[in-house]
Amino acid sequence: MRFPLTSATGAAGARRFGRPRRAVSQILLTQLAIAAGVAVLATGLFLAPLGNQLDDQAMRRALAIAQAAAADPDLPTALLAGPPSPEGRVQATAERIRRATGAEYVVVVDLRGIRRSHPNPALIGRRVSTDPGDALAGREVMEIDEGTLGRSARGKVPLVAADGEIVGAVSVGIAYDNVHDRLVGAIPGLLAYAGGALAVGALAAFLLSRRIQRQTRDLAFSDIAGLLAEREAMLHSIREGVVALDRTGRVRLVNDEAARLLGLAPGAPDAAGRPLEELLGPGRTTEVLAGRVTGRDLLTVQGSRVLLANRMPTEDGGAVATLRDRTEVEHLGRELDSTRGLIDALRAQDHEHANRLHTLLGLLELGLHEEASEFLTEVVGVHRSTAEQVTEKVHDPLLAALLVGKATVAAERGVPLRLAPATLLPDRLVDPGGLVTIVGNLVDNALDAAVGSADPLVEVELRAEGRTAVLRVRDSGPGVPADRREEIFTEGWSTKLPSGHRERGLGLALVRRLAQRQGGSARAGEGADGGAEFSVELPEALR
């Protein structure tokens, strides 16, 4: 699949300067140019020291020949025996050494710099073209210089008589052209090696370019840059959380919305490269994002938010997870449940009031006025005593109103709801709304469990211990097995069928999260008379 996202300016520029537009072509040519440059550079770097090495070898060879010639004991004697002569012993000895060693020349000079030997006999008896002063002074010389026979690698040594006196000098030269020929002769082999290296580099560049072509889907650099820019803008502008993971479970990317939903720092600057467990900590959210919990539209609670998560694997073994905020939807669903419960309670009260009014009317028609008065007093007293009992022990108006409403719903369902004798909660709550949510969820679960039991009952205990609020809700239901008492606080776990407008299995999870957010705890146990007992402690919940 190709993305037709091209930059007009970039494409025009590529055509203007004759550059290939496709990224793979640019990479291939660049790599070939680099390989060729490296081959040429390596060849040059190899040839330069090779030439110097060959020059040095030639000079040392010339010096060694000169030293061998000067070591001949007959040469100083022949030099002192007579004047320069092409037929003299000095010329004969020097020519013999020259032919034996393959030197360009072997020249013997006296103390005045007059040649006593030379490959060209006509030059014997003439002064040498270069200064022999260093050799006549007793120093050995290696050099490359111009002489009458052309450019040569030269070695000069003093010629010493048997008594240790310097009587002349020996100069041996090896033509530099011979050294140069050796260097030039080595070039084809070097170029062959360089060409082989270039061919291997070109093949590697071609294979690498083909791989890059498959991975980049044959896009131009401008296309890739445009896609990256648009990807960044899109990911950080959408109102859905996106978390990308690699194959090892480390975070690749967290967009702004995901950082907000997961409670991370804005932009999540330190998220990339970190494992999920380190970034989010253990819990259902980590399990869902890591793929250890499978399914579609998975619900999870992160902080105070209810999130809807979906996860899609990628070709490289990683995954992309999306997150949507369902907090408001869940709140609306719970409000709908409360409203429906209130409607059921009102309907029950309407039905109950209708029956009582009929009873009262019948008593009046029968002329039983005293009985009617007693009946009316009893009915009013029951409702008044319930409200008074709650408000005397629970001073927070929101929590008291909740318990009065829950008592009405419980009565309609045939389950008595009572306050424990130890209940006493002052009106000093820091977060009344949070405690209302906790009490409402626990009472609803207790009513569901108690309905249908042999002796149905729900008991609520609310008390203050210093600044700590303690809540206990007991029911007469079947209870919670010991091995399931932690599992029931997991998001999505429920024994009830889902309702039409929302998922089940979030009530107890929200209870624990709200308790933990306030530094408290929520746990399940067994009541004194059987059934389940849920306990919540909220430190610093009271002013």
Q: What is the pTM (predicted TM-score) of this model?
A: 0.42
Residue 214 CA to residue 207 CA, distance in Å, equals: 11
pLDDT tens string 431-463: 887 888 888 889 988 998 888 888 899 999 999
Res 249: pLDDT: 85
Residue 412 CA to residue 382 CA, distance in Å, equals: 14
pLDDT tens string 234-269: 666 677 888 889 988 888 888 888 888 888 887 777
Better pLDDT: 81 or 46: 81
Residue 288 CA to residue 293 CA, distance in Å, equals: 5
Mean pLDDT estimate for the chain: 78
Q: Which residues contact 72 (CB under 8 A, 6 or more apart)?
A: 93, 97
Q: Which residues pair with 523 in a beta bridge?
A: 535
Q: Is 438 exposed, middle or buried (0-12, 13-18, 19+ CB in 10 A)?
A: buried
Which pair of tokens denotes residue 154?
């030269």
Res 8: pLDDT: 38
Coil vs helix vs strand at 457: coil
Coil vs helix vs strand at 233: helix
Q: How far is CA 474 from CA 175, 446, 457, in A?
A: 113, 7, 8
Give the chain's domains with CATH numbers.
Answer: 23-218 (3.30.450.20), 240-325 (3.30.450.20), 329-538 (3.30.565.10)
Q: What is the 3-state secondary structure (H, E, C) of 20-83?
A: CCCHHHHHHHHHHHHHHHHHHHHHHHHHHHHHHHHHHHHHHHHHHHHHHHHCCCHHHHHHHHCC
Q: Which residues contact 333 (CB under 8 A, 6 or more apart)?
A: 499, 501, 502
- Residue 489 has φ and ψ, to the nearest 5°, of -90, 5
Which pair of tokens denotes residue 261?
């939903």
